[in-house]
Amino acid sequence: MKLFLTSIACTGIIFLSSALASEPAGKIDQAEIYTVSSNSLAAIVRLGGSVVPEKIVNFTAQMPGDVNFVAGSEGDAFKNGAILVSLNMKSLIAKRQQAMSQLASAEAAYRNAQVQYNLERVNPNSQGNQLLGGAPDLFSTFSDPMRSMMGQGNQRVERNSSLYARSVGIETASNSVQQAQAAIRELDESLKNTISYAPFDGVIVNKMVVEGDIVQPGMPLINFADITRLQIRVDVPSRLLKVIKVGSKAQAQLDGETNLVPVVVERIFPMADSGGHTTTVKFALPAGIEAHSGMYAEIILADPGSKHSALPAIPKSAIVWRGSLPAVFQVRENGSLKLRLIRVDEMPLNGMVSVISGIKAGDRIVTQPGPNTHISR
């Protein structure tokens, strides 16, 4: 048996063609033989993107102060509700104690205003009566009617005015109580903002502060993410959106990997970028895939706008691998098998693979070669 190899550099890939003479082998079931046909397949487009977590939270400082506590470093995992970062809150606690004192004073003033209103309603001008032993009230019994007859006063109006003044005192005191309560609620929210809690189970993916740092509102603290579910974020040209929809399947290739990974379209953003005429699309990676946030990845999509020239198409199951080289078992006219090294397209479509070279339309091949399929020696 003789082996002839020819090496040709083509688009960065070394193409090997071989002709392995063979002796007649065992019989092959006709159902396992496939006649190669030509097929014009849609062109393939590779779109670069990056791996991102499905859920990620960027914590920023909401209050100025010193960093009092940081839970861990990059890669440390925490449960939902765990404290991740906290700021020094001594000044806020002091302000809250002051606000509590103001609230107590306001409540005392409110109670006093109610008592004074009831006193005025039951015993009008009580302070003046106490000073002169009740004489002003006795005099007013005779003087008020005379004043009203002469148009110099109105007892009913004066009494309503006194009661209204007391009711205004109650309303003012009530407003003071509400202001003090609002100040306490504001301080309580500020105290909550000094502590950052984990919103879900996840890990710290980026840490920007350490204990003792002084931060101002808006400064980044940490990035927290759920890395159990990852996505590939890609900017897809608008012309390709017609071939994908939410739930449709595609294939991806992670940086440094040779095998393709099945992905599913999870979200298509509703607005395209006016500058690049692209739309952001997120593809969900399978659970358990070994990938990291920020890793480069490529999504492989069919481009319906252009077509390959007619190429032989074979089932993916017919391909066997000899090292890193794809090959097929060709069935010759006398029924013997010959191993042919081929060069395939990068992406199988619908279970069929287009062959760039190595076989031609009309050749017959074994569709599902097994461990016992071999050439005769």
| pLDDT tens track for 123-144 | 776 554 554 544 555 555 555 5
pLDDT, residue 152, reads 56
Helix, strand, coil percentages (3-state) for the chain, rounded to 5, are 30, 40, 30
pTM, two decimal places: 0.55
* Domain layout of the chain by residue ranges: 3-41+308-366, 48-86+205-307, 90-191
Alpha-carbon gap, residue 38 to 20, rounded angstroms: 24
Q: Which residues are CB-neighbours of 192 under 8 A, at least 6 positions away?
A: none
Question: Would you mind telling me the total number of residues written for the chain in this entry?
Answer: 377
Q: Give the per-residue pLDDT at 19.
A: 36
Fold matches, 3-41+308-366 and 48-86+205-307 = no
CATH number of 48-86+205-307: 2.40.30.170
pLDDT 10s digits, 41-64: 556 778 889 999 989 999 999 989
- Name the DSSP class of 349: B
DSSP calls for 51-81: EEEEEEEEEE-SS-EEEEEE---TT-EE-TT
* DSSP-based three-state secondary structure for 262: strand
Task: Going residue by residue through the chain, which has 377 residues, state the pLDDT in tens, using 9 for 90 and above.
Answer: 333 333 333 333 333 333 333 334 445 666 588 888 776 555 677 888 999 998 999 999 998 989 999 998 998 999 999 999 999 988 889 999 999 999 999 999 999 999 988 888 877 765 545 545 445 555 555 555 555 555 555 666 667 778 888 889 899 999 999 999 999 999 999 899 899 999 999 999 999 999 999 999 999 999 999 888 899 999 988 888 888 889 988 889 898 787 888 999 999 998 887 777 889 999 999 888 888 888 899 998 877 766 555 678 888 888 888 877 888 998 888 888 888 888 876 555 566 787 877 888 888 998 888 777 777 55
User: What is the CATH number that goes with domain 3-41+308-366?
Assistant: 2.40.420.20
Give the Cα separation of 241 and 23 in Å (integer). Answer: 52
Residue among 364, 375, 283 at smallest CA distance from 30: 364
